[in-house]
């Protein structure tokens, strides 16, 4: 990787791009083989949901996650953003 200035993103070589794509495919395939109840939570929302569900306090609208990921990808650009749950105010706890 080479960086021409501190404000620019690193320029990736074709080999680095292929390696990144390969690693994503391998990780997703491995994750798909793990039974649903056995997969460890990876995001803060997944962790929060587990805690809220265990405490019987999970919001019925968002399942205790506090919101959801909205995918607005298009034209070859991947865009995802977090939308907080309006029912629980993003806490994941039922009111």
Q: What is the 3-state secondary structure (H, E, C) of the chain?
A: CECCCCCCCCECCHHHHHHHHHHHHHHHHHHHHCCHHHCCCCCHHHHHHHHHHHCCCECCCCCCCCEEEEECCECCECCEEEEECCCCCCCCECC
Q: Angle at Cα 36 formed by Cα 25 and Cα 69, nearest 5°?
A: 65
- pLDDT reported for residue 78: 78
- pLDDT reported for residue 2: 52
Sole residue written with tokens 């977090």: 82
Q: Which residues of the chain have pLDDT under 70?
A: 1-9
């Amino acid at each position: 990787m080479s960086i021409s200035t501190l404000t620019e993103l690193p320029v990736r070589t074709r080999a680095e791009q292929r390696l990144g794509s390969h690693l994503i495919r391998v990780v997703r395939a491995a994750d798909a083989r793990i039974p649903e109840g056995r997969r460890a939570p990876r995001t803060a929302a997944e962790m929060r949901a587990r805690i809220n569900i265990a405490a019987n306090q999970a919001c019925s609208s968002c399942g205790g996650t506090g919101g959801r990921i909205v995918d607005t990808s298009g034209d070859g650009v991947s865009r995802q953003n977090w939308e907080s749950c309006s029912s629980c105010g993003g806490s994941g706890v039922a009111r």
